[in-house]
Chain A
Amino acid sequence: MSIRPDVTAVMAALLLGVPAIAAESAPGGRCGRYYEAARTGRTDADMASKRGDQRTANARLDQALHTLGMRYHSPAMIDDSDMHLLLARQAIAKGRLRQAAAIKRQVLSDRLQLCTMG
């Protein structure tokens, strides 16, 4: 009789606790499956950049940023990353594709980091 409640509690902890732990330790945090998709986009952009194709690098980064959207965001954070994207937009307008890609890559990396912060 005295064991039964404990067993129930353990079962409940297993049933309720394991998914919670799994969710916390998921690499994408609040971004879920979009995290991996955005990371893949970043890798594709790096490969394009490596072969000197800055146009494709920019396109892949734009796509990855779009995929991630605002999922990384929390009202508790101060997120200035859109300001950096304005500089990337300015760089594009001036034909500085390499610089634009570098800024976008940094913003994407920041946002991926924010998915699991706080």
Chain B
Amino acid sequence: MSGSVTHLNEIEHLGSPGQAPRTIRFSQDNIVLFQRLRAASFPGGHARERGGTIVADREGRLGVQNIGGHGSTASSFFPNLTVKEPGRFKTIGTFHTHPYDADSGWVRGVSFSGADIAHLLNNLLTISVVQSGPRLFAYIRTALSPTPVDHAGLNGVQNGTIWALQDKGRTFQQASRIAAQQVASMYSLAYYQGANGVLTRVHPA
């Protein structure tokens, strides 16, 4: 993998989305973990979200703790944000999968929900990462991002945008990605899309 792995100082305490790095690169260990959690998201052929807490060590290296969190269902994840060894690590975000099984047409590449964004903002986290099929998505919060936000309101805006895009002929997964980009602009977030642990900034372009 070319390029250096992203450190905390590149993504934390950003003044605006334009200050966010053009590319985010996760370490090989994190990439392997993301893929492992993706593979574990269909126990018995049925969807179950998997995830963990993204942490940074004193040197700013990113890792994942609390795999499995407090629990999950097919459509939700309950992260455990209490970091282990708080002298060495701090919580900076969450990672979780978006699996859709046979009932939902095995769709892949589904980006953020409004609820994902509300969780990032209301818990004052730095980063949120989602894996859906081979695709990886990330948001980075900035100083311009509003907090707290109304969870139901934000979710409603996101869902309404996705539904309107579907009405115009977009697939559900395409619509989710376009909506995620639009909402990034509304909430002063940097938005990324990618795969295999490398993400490119989509908003701002």
Contact = CB atoms under 8 A, between A and B. Distances in A.
Contacts of B105: 87, 99
B152 interface: yes
B78 A83 contact: no
Chain B interface residue number, banded: 35 or more
A107 interface: yes
Interface of A: 70, 73-84, 86-87, 89-90, 99, 102-103, 106-107, 109-110, 113-114, 117-118
A77 B76 contact: yes
A118 B152 CA distance: 20
B196 interface: no
A83 B75 contact: yes
Grouping DSSP codes into helix (H, G, I), strand (E, B) and loop, the B interface class, with mixed when no group exceeds half, is: mixed
A103 B103 contact: yes
Interface in B86-138: 94, 96, 98, 100, 103-105, 107, 110, 113-116, 119, 122-123
Nearest to A99: B103
Interface stretch (B11-19, B23-31, B66-74): B66-74
30 contacts: A70-B152, A74-B78, A75-B122, A75-B123, A76-B70, A76-B81, A78-B78, A78-B96, A78-B115, A78-B116, A79-B75, A79-B113, A80-B77, A80-B116, A81-B75, A82-B155, A83-B110, A83-B113, A83-B162, A84-B100, A86-B159, A86-B166, A87-B104, A87-B105, A89-B163, A102-B103, A106-B75, A110-B73, A114-B76, A114-B78
B13 to A, nearest CB: 23
A82 B152 CA distance: 10
B104 A117 contact: no
A19 B119 CA distance: 32
B74 A106 contact: yes
A27 B159 CA distance: 31
Top 6 closest A-B pairs, CB basis?
A110-B73, A81-B75, A102-B103, A80-B113, A79-B76, A77-B78
Contacts of B73: 81, 109-110, 113-114
A76 B69 CA distance: 11
B103 A106 contact: yes
A107 B107 CA distance: 16
A82 B74 CA distance: 12
